[in-house]
Amino acid sequence: MHKLAISPCPNDTFAFYGLLHGKTAYRGRLETTFADIEELNRLCLEGHVDFCKISFGVYPAVQDRYRLLEAGSALGFGCGPLVVARHELSRADLAGKRIAIPGRHTTAALLLDLYLDGDYQPVEMVFDRIMPACAAGEVDAGLIIHESRFTYDRHGLSRAVDLGEWWEHETGHPIPLGGIVARRDLDPAETAAFDAALTASIDYAHAHDAEVERFMRLHAAEIERDVMQRHVALYVNAFTRGLGARGRAAIEDLAERAAKLRG
């Protein structure tokens, strides 16, 4: 029995539906945990899982024990985290401010560190608490991820910066958010079978979207059909099916910039 941990977000439940429901050739036994991305990062950092969705921001810290799989990543263009606030704020305005983040180990937090050169006061909270906290004035701004990018205006919030747009302009790379890793001490054949099955699972989901939608709805924080569909359309793309050389180059660039920032 192998331990798998993924997020309850629509892109993960969409991608993994076929694998978890016997729709692929994979016949390994899995014990599956659904958790917030920062909890997933912690599980991987502590070595508690065999296969795991993690933030690319934390991958350098675990790559000696985990290898990155080709399938299952969230990476692309126009899909980066946003900084939102009750009123418009410039880059200079954000310096030194209390900004809610969805976890210190998330890629979103790393991108904000790079954008502001670390000059802000991070306030950690679960991602779905950030918009209410920001709207209530508990923090000066909030760093939002996942489906929150489609609903922040409902909280009376404005976009201060799109960190994905900033990253794309700075680097020319797609923005690397998160990926699937496997323990390096697993049988390589088992890891390859899992990776291939995840690719097949993604293909199955695209061909059976109505069937998959019921599973997504069970787990999604935002259960509106339109929000789920927009989420999947944005975060499940060609890079999800296979990182390729361009995807891996973006991940390496992020790691290099993080290393320089942190000295």
Nearest to 14 by CA among 191, 182, 240: 240
**Is there a binding annotation on residue 97?**
no
d(CA 43, CA 41): 6
Q: Is 7 annotated as a binding residue?
A: no
Q: Is 105 a catalytic residue?
A: no
54 assigned to a ligand binding site: yes
Q: For residues 1 and 37, what is the distance between their CA atoms, to the nearest angstrom?
A: 23
User: What does the radius of gyration of the chain's CA atoms come to, in whole angstroms?
Assistant: 18
Amino acid letter, 18: G
Q: By C-alpha distance, which of 176, 140, 138, 175 is closest to 160?
A: 140
Can you tell me the distance from the alpha carbon of 251 to that of 179, in angstroms, rounded to the nearest whole number?
Answer: 10
Tell me: is residue 202 an annotated ligand-binding position: no
Say how far apart CA 179 and CA 156 lie, in whole Å.
32
> 246-253 long-range CB contacts below 8 Å, 24 or more apart?
246/173, 246/174, 247/73, 247/75, 247/174, 247/176, 248/68, 249/173, 250/75, 250/171, 250/173, 250/174, 250/175, 250/176, 251/56, 251/59, 251/68, 251/75, 251/176, 251/179, 253/171, 253/173
Closest CA to 234 of 74, 114, 57: 74
Which residue is catalytic, options 21, 87, 146, 173? 146
The residue behind tokens 């990543």 is 73
- The residues annotated with a catalytic role in the active site are 146
Annotated binding site for substrate: 53-55, 107-108
- The annotated binding site is made up of 53-55, 107-108
